[in-house]
Structure 1
């Protein structure tokens, strides 16, 4: 994660994990059960394009999921690609996830 995002807090709302950077948002829509968190869609406002904000919100969210003790279901293509690029995060993916073997 780029250093400018390190001290920005991750905010969990009813439907999203989000960060705010220079008045703009990067977020991930999610669904949560007692044992799993499904990440559905990642988006950053156009003003944040190319800044690394989307990767930062993903990394912060993965840390949150790990600390919560829950398992991840990475339905979002961006999150899935992030985990393929950073395979150390496969440790929090639920082994029952259909594409687990493709990570």
Structure 2
């Protein structure tokens, strides 16, 4: 079953540039090469960021989360953030989801 993982956070004052760099680095150097990744995108609005990834299965996502590089990424976040990030996982409803014609 396909899943989406969504991380949402707010940067500390003056930290949005470093936070954005960290998200893009993780996306391009770790997430992009992870088995089972379907889609990944990092978004910014002011001091808020959203990182969205889609995985073929919960197991693929968990394999990514278990990597040392992913652990290092999550350990680097707290000094850059206001509070704790919101991280949610959603299962895709339906076999294929909606696609444009």
> Structure 2 length normalisation: TM-score?
0.32
Q: Identify which of structures 1 and 2 has the higher relative contact order when contacts are C-alpha pairs closer than 8 Å and 6+ apart.
A: 2
The structure with the larger Rg is 2
